[in-house]
Amino acid sequence: MGLDGNKSEEAEEKAVDLETETSHHNDGEASMDGTEQEDEDDEVGNKIQLGPQCTLKEQLEKDKDDESLRKWKEQLIGTVDFEDIGETLEPEVKILSLSIISPGRPDIVLSVPEDGNPKGSWFTLKEGSHYNLMFSFQVNKNIVSGLKYTNTVWKTGVKVDSAKEMLGTFSPQPEPYTHLMPEETTPSGMFARGTYSARSKFLDDDDKCYLEINYTFDIRKEWAAT
């Protein structure tokens, strides 16, 4: 979940000291909200102003006289049933599942709750293990532009990691899309083990949030029994 175990011992010791100094803060959520607000303010300040949205039919009609652009758009849109999608401006993006893929063991496939709040600890990672995250998601109604994934991780109210990954631009289609994230390594050692809280978001170029997931997970000596 954005945690990288390939950090220097000195950096880990500093993180431990910082965590110890702030461990008296019992309200981790307050710390999360303040940190995220700063991140969102930065994004708003750097936001690019985009043109007006168009339906898929309007997208094709707009450049019908430009042969190369028309073919590019048709290739991007693919075989879309316009009767099924109607003339909708807003895309519909649904995150279906999250998979944790680690060599030599079965994949952990996690369904995403409708409200984005898994109950209890959502999953367990083994310390010092290599893994990839893979998302499965559905796109309907219209093209979603610049879909991205952001993730922030806290331990005892202290922000320990954040990550952002651009997933891409996707047209509506019946079959779900999948996106494999780069490989990561969980930290290891006594101070790395424990419970973490995290917040993941899926947003587009307009910073429209299609899903926010607030969850906790554990790092332990071993994987959870299957």
| Of the candidates 167, 106, 165, 105, the residue with the CA atom closest to the CA atom of residue 136 | 167
Q: Which residues contact 177 (CB under 8 A, 6 or more apart)?
A: 136, 137, 138, 139, 170
Of 57-61, 95-99, 220-224, the poorest mean pLDDT is in: 57-61
The confidence score (pLDDT) of residue 49 equals 41
Least confident of 51-60, 117-126, 158-167, 178-187: 51-60
Residue 221 gets the label, from left (phi > 0), alpha (psi -120 to 50) or beta, of alpha
Q: Say whether pLDDT at 67 is over 90.
A: no
**Of the CATH numbers 2.70.50.30, 1.25.40.10, 3.20.20.70, 1.20.1640.10, which one belongs to the domain with range 91-220?**
2.70.50.30
Angle made by CA atoms 144, 116, 177, in degrees to the nearest 5? 35
Q: Is the C-alpha dihedral spanning 138, 99, 210, 74 positive or negative?
A: negative
Parse the chain into domains and list their residue ranges. Answer: 53-89, 91-220
Helix (H) / strand (E) element for 132: namely strand 130-140
Q: Give me the mean pLDDT over the 99-111 stretch.
A: 95
How far is it, in rounded angstroms, from Cα 192 to Cα 118?
Answer: 22
- Residue 208 reports pLDDT greater than 80: yes
Higher pLDDT, 36 or 63: 63
pTM of the entire predicted model = 0.69
Q: Distance between CA atoms of 2 and 149, rounded to whole angstroms? A: 11
Determine the distance from the C-alpha atom of residue 158 to the mean position of all C-alpha atoms in its chain, rounded to a whole number: 20
- Residue 147 and residue 165: Cα distance in Å, rounded? 9
pLDDT(84) > 80? no
Altogether, the residues listed in the chain come to a count of 226
pLDDT (tens digit, 9 = 90+) per residue, 11-54? 444 443 434 443 444 444 434 444 444 454 444 444 444 444 66
